[in-house]
Amino acid sequence: MPGFLVHTLSLLLMPLLLGSARGLHNASQRMFKIDYSQNYFLKDGQPFRYISGSIHYHRVPSFYWKDRLLKMKMAGLNAIQMYVPWNFHEPLPGQYQFSDDHDVEHFIQLAHEMELLVILRPGPYICAEWDMGGLPAWLLEKESIVLRSSDPDYLAAVDKWLGVLLPKIKPLLYQNGGPIITVQVENEYGSYFTCDYDYLRFLQNRFRYHLGDEVLLFTTDGARETLLQCGTLQGLYATVDFGAGCNITAAFEIQRKTEPRGPLVNSEFYTGWLDHWGQPHSRVSTEAVTSSLYNMLALGANVNMYMFMGGTNFAYWNGANTPYAAQPTSYDYDAPLTEAGDLTEKYFAVRDVIRKFEKVPDGPIPPSTPKFAYGKVTLKKLKTVGEALNILSPSGPTKSIYPLTFVQVKQYFGFVLYRTTLPKNCSDPTPLSAPINGVRDRAYVSVNGVPQGILERNRVFTVNITGEAGATLDVLVENMGRVNYGRYNNDFKGLISNLTLGCSVLTDWLIFPLNTENAVRGHLGGWGGHGNSCHVEPEPHSSSNFTLPAFYVGNFSIPAGIPDLPQDTFIQFPGWTKGQVWINGFNLGRYWPTRGPQMTLFVPQHILVTSAPNTVTVLELEHAPCNSVDPALCTVEFVDKPVISTAVTYSHLPTWLDHV
């Protein structure tokens, strides 16, 4: 972190840290509960109303946690709201991650040091436009499992997870000296088809067992009466969520039908909205947000702004909605703080509304972080995916007569290569088909190293291929992110049904799970082949507009003698089509400029170095701009501003956006 920023943050944090220390001296006198007679919360016996904002620690590098939290504090918020994604912490059964960017306890403690209270939403399901709504994909190893229900296998996994997570949370509860004032049970359960009260009672029991009887438990559902019927349970305080432009009185009347007395709470007041690949970037006007916020606060309501700081779906963490539409890498959300943590007009407008009701902290607001345009970086082709299989899949393939799903070969994210041979001559174009929409989610097809086309979930079910009998058919399948909302979040990936060639079912598959992370981190620049040459080998003749999925690499240096470098930046992909990008082994996420709306990816400064060249690794899946005639076309570019292709601005969220 640049020296000036460290110094500034230290000065700003000092009074908050001192106040936090004073607040810890006597946890036994601390209490947070509901006064039903007066319709408000009581904090240490005094009436209390929270004005909160959502931030997802799993979408913000821990390097920037303090900066983002302090900006939220200086906006006048007295609380933050946060999810805990189960799959972020238990990627494999019984293997837990709670350090570095996964250190949820440290994040909560940082909020406490800044005198920000915490509204905790530990799921186990969270939605959040996060892969599978935070549920681990390995749950699907039991194919018939009914998620978010009393299914015994699901409950056993949930019980084990809560037994790990909640004991970490208990010391951080408000009554125990920490900042957590309320804990949400499940998430918008009334929108799910199972409507299983036994499941909610199970969760209530386990939360009470691990956290005690004093903690205030609550639920959140959309502001429709039918949603609260299945989403609420006696003993859990019912709250609602709705966005700008909605009828506030009518929405809170829905809450009152379930909770006749108690505080009014909008647990998700939408300051913006989510995006999908191929659709315009969503914006909600500042005027609409501030008008609704003012009116809710004037009613004495408690409000959490979702999102106040969106962040980034690094690596493969984005979710998807149905009909299948994957969310992009950016989770900017048009929030008051941008994806990069920058201050916006909306930030200051929201702050001005809050100061009409509560005292806003004095002192300077941490500035937006400086950005730097490092310029163009020339890449060279390393290997195609097929050429790198010994690196990407060192254990070799699984053999199966019929295709297996990702989960069946214990590959939960990224890519799997399916390989077989053509059983007959296809001198004339012959249809290769996924007859029951069996590709989840995109498949890059080649025969003997010649690209043939792409199959895509819900869009493209057939491609015509050519080749001789015995030729190698490769089908590289990409998991684009699991459905995070609705009944179809049991989202199996890969080839979930047979492929047919003409009228024949293809059999005898070799299935290669690809470990892209180990390959990129362990073999940066050391894959051999082309050395330092920018020469691009021509591929076998193809009439298609595709190139084989392949890795490209390049380096750039940041001078060590310039103060305050490195700085944040954005990477864009002129002439590239779709793929994945890593910098110094850090998986930034997916790029897809031909679909948009996201054209650039946020690059946080902490992954960059001045002590050595920075390595950019690109996996281009469809078509690279590289050729042997003009190597200068094989470049990416670092710029100092984010770029989006198209956007649409709402003054209120249409009813179909209550949730997609």
Residues across the chain: 660
How, if at all, do strands 614-620 and 550-556 pair?
antiparallel
Give CA–CA dist 369/341, Å, rounded: 8
Q: Which amino acid is at 606?
A: H
Query: Any alpha helices (H) in 196-264, and if so which ranges?
Result: 197-211, 225-231, 248-258
Cα(374)–Cα(304) distance, integer angstroms: 38
91, 315 Cβ separation under 8 angstroms: no
Q: Which of 372, 375, 376 is nearest to 604 (CA)?
A: 372
Active-site amino acid positions: 188, 268
Question: Going by C-beta distance under 8 Å and a sequence separation of 6 or more, which residues neighbour residue 167?
Answer: 210
Q: What does the alpha-carbon distance between residue 514 and residue 411 come to, in Å, rounded to a whole number? A: 8
CA distance 288 to 74: 22
Can you state the percent helix, strand and coil of the chain, rounding each to 5? 25, 30, 45
User: Using CA atoms, how far apart are residues 9 and 69, in angstroms rounded to an integer?
Assistant: 11
Please give the Cα distance from 429 to 450 (Å, whole number): 14
- At 32, list the tokens: 């947070």
CA distance 262 to 141: 43
Question: Which residues are CB-contacts of 601 (< 8 A; sequence separation ≥ 6)?
Answer: 312, 329, 330, 570, 571, 572, 581, 588, 589, 591
